[in-house]
Structures are given as C-alpha cells and as structure tokens.
Structure 1
Amino acid sequence: MRPLRIYLQKMSGGTSLPAHASIFHILLAGVGAGLAIAIGVYLEEALHFNILMAPLGASCFLAFAIPDSPLAQPRNIVLGHMISSCAALFVLQFLGYGALQIALAVALAVMAMLATRTSHAPAAATPLVIFALQPTWDYLVAPVLPGALVVALTALIFNNLRPSVRYPQYW
C-alpha cells in the first residue's frame, strides 16, 4: 500500500503556479504568433500552395511565448516537424493506416526527435495530421518545410527585436 500512496502523492504537484507573465510579454507573444501565421496565410495565397498545418499554431506558442525553451529553438521547430513527418509518412507508406500504425508513427517521431536532439512537442502532433490527411511524400515540401521555416524565421527576426531576448539559444 505504501508504494501506491507514494505514487499518488507524486500526482499532487509540488510547487506553486509559475509567475504571471507581464501584459507586455503577453502582447508581444500574441503579436509574434499572429504575425507568423499571417505571413503563412499571405504566402499560401500568393504562391497557391499549402504552408500552414495545425501543429504550427502550437509551434508559434513556443517560439514567441517561451523563446528560451529548448523546444522553441529554430532547429527544433524545423527539424522536429520534418523528422516527425518522415516517420509518419514512412509508417503510412509501408505499414498502412490503422490504430497501431498511428501510435507507432507518433512513438517513432518522439524517439527520433529525442535521438537527434530536435525535440519539439508540436511536431509530435504532425503524424496525427498526416494520418488524417494521408498525403504523399510531397507533404514534406508543402506544407511541412515552408510552414516550419516561416515560423522559425519570423521568430528569429521578431524575437531579436526585443531587447531582453536572444534568439536562438543555439543552432
């Protein structure tokens, strides 16, 4: 019974909530995220091909709200989405569609990102999008790579306009 009690105690948390973000930080994070998505939408319309996918919204949160996070670095944004997409497309092409295949694609994406030091939590959702759409390998060219690049490059330019931020922390 003691191990169960210890296990359950771990779920009670241990610290207080993080400090409130300043209104200035909140506004800048929102403006940066909105700007990245607006650029993506503009480019989609101008170039007539897909650039945006749902997980990029979560990438924007990391890139603009917590740019110091290892998960928010441009390398992680771009390579995380590319690696996860490759894992999903590989599983979809060679093993087909099914519950186990979807789970395997996400598992492979998580392991590959960890192994390559390109962890990016939103990229772990990319295999779910790929299995929902069942695209071809062209999906890497549009929207994955250009979408991830738009977010990463917008974050690179926008975040460095802020005097208190140095972005990226590493390449």
Structure 2
Amino acid sequence: MTTSIKSTALKLLPGFGGFLAIWLLSLLGDSARFPLLMAPFGASCVIAFALSQSPLAQPRSIVGGHALSTLVGLCALFAFGDHAWSMALAVGAAITLMQLTRTLHPPAGADPLVVMTTGASWGFLFTPVLIGSIVLVLVAYGYHRAAKASYPAKWW
C-alpha cells in the first residue's frame, strides 16, 4: 500500500469509530427502551476517536465532564428556569467546574444548554448522560484496542 493510500485509510478510521459508537448507543438505547444519545456525544466522538491521546479524550474527562455539566444544567434549570442569563450562567459554571475538577471536555459545555432547552428531568443525568458516556468510552476502548492503538492514556 502506498504511503498516500495508507495515510488516507488512517484518516478514515476515526470516522468509523464515531459511526460505531453512535450506532451502538442508538441500538442499545432502542433495545433497552431508554435514550442513550444526545447531540454532544457526536462531538465527544471526534475527540475520543480522532484525538484519543488528548487529556480531553480520557474517560475522566468524557464521563466526568458530561456528568458535571449536566448536573450544573439541571441545578440551574430547577433553581432559575430557562432564561438567557441562567443558560449563560450554567455554561460558565460548567466550564469553571470542569477545569477545577480536571474533567474538561469541550462537548460537555453544551450539556447545560441541552438540559435547559429541552426541560430535562433529573433522570437525564443517568440516561442518556452517565450510561451513554460510559458506553461511549467502552466503545472507544474496544475500537482503539482493535486498531492496536493505546487508549486511554489513563483511566482516571
């Protein structure tokens, strides 16, 4: 295989990983009859599959970032309602708390907005957020093992 073809093939692999993760989350959610998908998981796939060695792609950041940001969004929604200022406050607080807890994950910055614009309930923290992000990390782990790549750099 020429270097150019090999290079192109390697660039296609992260896309397959993202496809696999979202497809499995969708199938598992359908069979379990509860949602395991939310839009920010698409962006998490970019980081988990294309930038797997980044601190932002590690399980602590993916699971912790999504959980913390969703919790912030839920607290803000139930304390203040869904206003422009409360959405802004929730996103800012989520960013700050992710930095302080070393769980920074950029796609999770959207979680408070998802929570507040959909009027999510407290159950949203568990499904799709916690279970979905854990499944996403497990798919990334399996994918990178099959590709003979090292992931994660550290679990926690």
Report TM bin, short chain: over 0.9
Q: Flag structure 2 segments of 5+ consecutive residues without an equivalent.
A: 1-5
Shift of 1:24: 2.2
Partners of 2:141 and 2:151 within 8 A in 1: yes
Taking only the aligned residue pairs, the percentage that are identical comes to: 43
Please give the TM-score of this superposition, normalised by the length of structure 2.
0.92
- Higher helix residue share: 2
Find out whether 1:51 has 2:36 as its counterpart: yes
Find out whether 1:31 has 2:16 as its counterpart: yes
The corresponding residue for 1:132 is 117
Give SS of 1:143's match.
helix
Partners of 1:74 and 1:168 within 8 A in 2: yes
Please give the TM-score of this superposition, normalised by the length of structure 1.
0.85
Q: Of 145, 150, 154, which residue of structure 2 is paired with 1:166?
A: 150
Shift of 1:25: 2.2
Alignment of 1:82-161 (within 5 A): 82-161=67-146
Partners of 1:25 and 1:65 within 8 A in 2: no
2:152 corresponds to which letter in structure 1? P
How many residues are matched? 150
Show CA shifts across 1:66-121 (max 9, x none): 10111111111001000000011001111112010000000011001000001100
Q: Partners in 2 of 1:107 and 1:25 — Cα distance? A: 36
Shift of 1:37: 0.5
Q: Of 66, 81, 93, which residue of structure 1 is paired with 2:66?
A: 81
CA RMSD between the two structures: 1.2
Q: Partners in 2 of 1:76 and 1:104 — Cα distance? A: 21
Q: Flag structure 1 segments of 5+ consecutive residues without an equivalent.
A: 1-20
Q: Partners in 2 of 1:66 and 1:22 — Cα distance? A: 16
